[in-house]
Every structure is written in C-alpha cells, then in structure tokens.
C-alpha cells in the first residue's frame, strides 16, 4: 500500500521535511517512489510547497496521506482531505456542552474459585487468631483472679 508522508531531513533542531510517496512497509527514512514537495516549519513563515496535482493523482490511485500531511494539504486548499484526518482522542470539542454525570461503573466480575478459596482461608485464619487472643486474655484474667484470691485468704487469716 502506498503512503504519502513527511520524511524528515535537515539538521538538529532545524527540521525540514520532504513530502514523499513511499511503500507503507518501508521505513520513514527509507526508499521512496517520488518526491512531491517539501515543508519547512522552522522558518519565520513556514513554507509548504507541494505538487497538488500529483498528490491528487496518487490519492485517486489508492495512496493514503498521513494525518499530519492531510492537515497541511487541507490548509493548502486541497479538497476532500477530511476523510484522511483523524480526530485527536485526547482533545475535547470546542464549546461542547458539559458532560452529564457518567453512569455508575459496572459491577465487578465475580472472582475465580481459587481467589474465593484463598479469601475464605484468610478469613478463617483471622477468625482463629481472634479466638486465640480472646482465649489467652481469658486465661490471663483467670490467673490474675486466682492470685488475688489467695492474697485475700491470707489477709483474712491475719485479721483473725
């Protein structure tokens, strides 16, 4: 499939582009079939020169211009470039009415059986630990009570 695209040339921090017709499988800096013009964006007034007749010819033969090139061609006055221009996904349309409240997110999918088993095991472990701590506290309380009882018995004996 043939593609009409920009091929970067020029020096570091001073870009210039060729408008070329190339095979889509070739690299952007690779071989091309025909040079159709050039674009110099770093000039004070950007220069865009293109053989629009050849571009229209190749588009009629099935070549597809890149998104950026389609925008430049549209600005230069070539008709029917809107079909090749892709909307930016991150951009919101200008003066659009504010979006309504988003619908609530869908309920989470049920977890697989293995995940459920692991969760149940963890819950049982936590419950067992709580029971053990309760039992230990009860044992300590009973030990303290037993220690206090003999002390009371001794105080009773002394009082007699």
Are residues 70 and 144 both part of a single domain?
no
pLDDT digits (tens, 9 = 90+) for 60-78: 988 888 888 888 888 888 8
Question: Would you write out the chain's pLDDT as a tens digit for each of its 160 residues?
Answer: 888 989 999 899 999 999 999 888 877 777 788 899 999 998 999 899 988 889 899 889 888 888 888 888 888 888 888 788 877 667 666 775 666 666 677 766 655 666 677 778 888 888 888 888 888 888 888 877 777 666 555 555 555 5
Are residues 55 and 116 both part of a single domain?
no
| Cβ contact 39:51 at 8 Å | no
Are residues 78 and 133 both part of a single domain?
no
Provide the number of structural domains found in the chain: 2
Output the domain CATH number for residue 35.
Answer: 3.30.1320.10
Please give the DSSP secondary-structure letter assigned to residue 108: P
Distance from C-alpha of 52 to C-alpha of 77, rounded to nearest angstrom:
9
| Domain-embedded: residue 99 | no
Q: Find the domain containing 79 and state its range.
A: 2-84
Distances (CA, A) of 109 to 77, 112, 119, 147: 52, 9, 16, 57
Is the pTM for the entire model greater than 0.85?
no
Are residues 32 and 68 both part of a single domain?
yes
| Domain-embedded: residue 157 | yes
């Amino acid at each position: 499939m043939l593609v009409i695209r920009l091929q970067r040339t020029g020096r570091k921090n001073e870009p210039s582009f060729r408008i070329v017709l190339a095979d889509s499988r070739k690299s952007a800096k690779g071989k091309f079939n025909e040079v159709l013009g050039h674009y110099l964006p770093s000039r004070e007034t950007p220069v865009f020169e293109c053989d629009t007749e050849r571009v229209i010819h190749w588009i009629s033969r099935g070549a597809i211009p890149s998104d950026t090139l389609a925008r430049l061609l549209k600005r230069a006055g070539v008709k029917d470039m809107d079909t090749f221009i892709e909307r930016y996904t991150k951009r919101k349309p200008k003066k659009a009415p504010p979006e309504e409240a988003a619908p609530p997110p869908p309920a989470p999918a049920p977890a697989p059986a293995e995940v459920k088993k692991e969760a149940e095991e963890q819950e049982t472990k936590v419950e067992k630990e709580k029971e053990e701590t309760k039992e230990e506290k009860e044992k300590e309380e009973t030990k303290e009570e037993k220690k206090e009882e003999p002390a009371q018995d001794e105080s009773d004996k002394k009082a007699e």
